[in-house]
Structure 1
Amino acid sequence: MVRHHSRSLACAIAFGAVLASSGAALAEDKITIIVGGMEKQIYLPAVLTQQLGYFKDEGLDVELLNSRAGVEAENELIAGAVQGVVGFYDHTVDLQAKGKYIQTIVQFSQAPGEVEMVSSKLADQIKSPADFKGQTLGVTGLGSSTDFLTQYLAVRGGLKAGDYTLLPVGAGNTFIAAVKQEQIAAGMTTEPTIGQLLKTGDAKILVDMRTPEKTAAALGGPYPAASFYVQSSWAESHKEEAQKLANAFVKTLRYISSHSAEEIAALIPKDYYVGDKDSYVRGLAEGKAMFTPDGRMPDGGPQTVLKVLQAFSKNVQGKEIDLSKTYTTEFVDAAAKTLGSAQ
């Protein structure tokens, strides 16, 4: 079953300790995947795969753990506490610059699904990222993909580091509270938080990156975002498990592509609606185009991600990054052959 409630990172760490001490049998019997916010629509494929029973169809015992932000999830992967992460592809580039090799084996989305929201009280003052100067901006966590994208928008708007402040405020209720309490002037978030803020009128959309077209306008090209990534060494030594996971996720992406937002939402745990199913469905309908239909990396996507990170990240600047080692299509190509033509 999907764990509907948020589980603390301490829980994930504790699980990792148990996993490490209990022998190889358990590690092979259960696959643990940490998700950078299961309630976020950008990570819908993870929960939907569980709900549709596709993991079980592949003979897999998969547990999904929840974390506040992708940066926490990647840390657990590197520590060996989990086998995989559902998070943003850009972490594979960032980590390679630090000498750590992880790779995406299924690409969920071709757009971030993120929106830079501005407090309605400041909407007349902040009309573009160029107006971020002197402001406090909300991100899920420092070192997270929302951090990366926010910094790039600022650079593209002509600003430099130090012109603004980044504040980690998480997502969902904590993000909403930060807006209402005027802790942040603007911030980056996803559905269903976007819909909640628009409904109450507390914030407005400043930069929309929920579709490939809007993403290209904001970032200069396709931006592969939500993905399933693992340590490269794990993918090499656990090809059978990796293939089964890819099969399950590709089936889910096909399902998303061929079904309506209403049909998809009907399968999701009701607490993910945050008390407003209509808003949830509307947000999903508007953003469903972010998902790839086949799990493949969009052409030119890795290059856009590298360009974005090189624009501001001292960690990446000046480093030789081998993009071919940040993702593989081996497993989704095999899944396509196994599953046959899309229904």
Structure 2
Amino acid sequence: MTTRQYLAACFLFAIFTCVPLTGLAQGKGETVKFQDYPGSGNMLIRIAASKGYCEKFGIKCQLQMIPSGALGAQALLAKSIDVGFFPPETQILAINKGANLKAIFSGATQNIFLIAIRQDLEAPNADKGFPAFMADLKGKKIGVTARGAASEITFSFLLQKAGLKAEDVNYFAVGAPNTAYSALISKQIDAIINFEPSGVLCELLRTCKVIWRGSTSPQPPETYAANGASSNNVARQEYLDQNPHVAQAIIKAVLEAEAFIQNPANFDEAVKIALSYFKFDLPNSEALMIATMKQAVPAYKASISRQALKAIAEHLYQTRQIEAPFDTRLLVYEKAP
């Protein structure tokens, strides 16, 4: 082969191999609808949309406020959104009912749930940690994001680990942090299991008390093991099959968003982006968002811990939330980080 023939062959190889691979990671102007939440919400997508990372990879990212994982899963299955943002527990239960869903990236790797009680609630064991404080909640009204949601599943698991039963409390759906907090301080309920900024609201305003955070409490070990895959961005397998290039574009966009938000120099700008999507209906809205972001930034990562998924599925099985061991390979998109 002559030098000219060799160079021509290399050129053709580049065209027919390298270029298509690049194209697979580039959208074609598709609009992708993502689930968002009150508070800091689906922050990696907020960053990706605001900083132009979505457009960079050929997609338009839109966010739709849906206050719970269970409702997000319903919207996803109804095709009113393209990507839901909810815990693996919700995804596993949906798959066991026949849904075909895949997590394409995380977005909130640390356990998102916390328990807060009314400031005036008689709780002598509140400072003793788990499982002691669970006895104080027996017979109480517990606010969950939605009935049957991962928040209720988690609280029922905590009851079981403490030697109690789900029937020992009364569950009420109170929605996302803003409405859950209002229900708590107005004494409609005695305690909530919710996500940030519920805890930040309690601590900054001194109106309620956080007694457990899943992200930092080592007990019980089953919930602590969920750190690494606490809440993930999930799409329908059908959507991924039809739009593999969009899936790759999403992943590339959120990896750039992760790099941005994990850089401490960008914290102030990230807060401004968060506030552009949601503001607390309180006088010190900016201070609340700053405190929320300080709590949450370490969890804003795209990678999904496969080991954490196994731990979550195992505790669902051990607590008989599911009837058989679950193969967690069914949860994750093949090219997910």
TM-score normalised by structure 2 residue count: 0.80
Alignment correspondent of 1:112:
111
Q: Offset at 1:75? A: 0.8
Deviations 1:18-41 (A, max 9, x none): xxxxxxxxx984222233x1x333
Aligned residue in 2 for 1:61: 60
Root mean square deviation, CA, Å: 2.4
Structure 1 distance, partners of 2:100, 2:219, is 27
Partner amino acid, structure 1, of 2:78: A
Alpha-carbon separation, structure 2, partners of 1:154 and 1:160? 6
The reply to whether residue 147 of structure 1 matches residue 118 of structure 2 is no
Report the Cα distance in structure 2 between the residues aligned to 1:252 and 1:123, rounded to whole angstroms: 44
Give the alignment of 1:137-176 within 5 angstroms.
137-176=142-181
Higher gyration radius (CA)? 2
Match of 1:284 in 2: 293
Give the alignment of 1:299-310 within 5 angstroms: 299-310=306-317
Give the percent of matched residue pairs that are identical in Structure 1 and Structure 2: 15
1:311 Cα shift? 4.2
| Matches of 1:161 and 1:330, distance apart in 2 | 38
Question: Which of the residues 209, 213, 219 maps onto 1:204?
Answer: 209
User: 1:1-343 maps to which residues of 2 (within 5 A)?
Assistant: 29-35=30-36, 37=37, 39-41=38-40, 43-122=42-121, 124-125=123-124, 127=126, 128-211=133-216, 214=218, 217=221, 219-223=223-227, 224-259=229-264, 261-270=267-276, 272-274=278-280, 275-292=284-301, 295-314=302-321, 316=322, 318-332=323-337
Check 1:136–1:310 CA distance in 2 against 1; reply closer, same or farther (3 A cut).
Answer: farther
Q: Is the 8 A contact 1:130 1:158 kept in 2?
A: no
What is the CA-CA distance between 1:200 and the residue it aligns to? 2.5
1:135-155 alpha-carbon deviations (Å, 9 max, x no partner): 111111112221222222222
Q: 1:28 to 1:91 in 2, by over 3 A?
A: farther
Q: How many residues are aligned here? A: 299
CA distance in 1, matches of 2:33, 2:320: 30
Judging changes above 3 Å, is the alpha-carbon distance between structure 1 residues 74 and 189 closer, same or farther for their aligned structure 2 residues?
Answer: same
Q: What's the offset of the Cα at 1:60?
A: 0.7
* Shift, 1:308, TM fit: 3.0
Find the residue that maps to 1:121 and give its secondary structure.
coil
Q: Gaps spanning 5+ residues in structure 1: where?
A: 1-26, 333-343
Q: Partner letter of residue 156 of structure 2?
A: Q
Contact kept in structure 2, 1:97 and 1:319, CA below 8 Å: no
Structure 2 Cα separation of the partners of residues 244 and 328 of structure 1: 14
Q: Distance in 2 between matches of 1:165 and 1:125?
A: 20
Alpha-carbon shift at residue 290 of structure 1 (Å): 2.3
State the shift of 1:321 in Å: 1.9
In the superposition, the TM-score normalised over structure 1's length comes to 0.79
Structure 2: 5+ residue runs without aligned partners?
Answer: 1-27, 127-132
SS in 2 for 1:141: coil
Letter in 2 for 1:264: A
Contact map agreement 2:144 2:171 (CA 8 A) in 1: yes
Q: 1:215 and 1:57 mapped to 2: Cα distance?
A: 43
Distance 1:311 1:210, change over 3 A: same
Partner SS, residue 98 of structure 2? coil
Q: Contact conserved, 1:215 with 1:221, CA < 8 A, in 2?
A: no
For residues 29 and 57 of structure 2, what CA distance do their matches in structure 1 show? 14
SS in 2 for 1:300: helix
User: 1:20 corresponds to which residue?
Assistant: none
The answer to whether the Cα contact below 8 Å between 2:113 and 2:215 also exists between their aligned partners in 1 is: yes
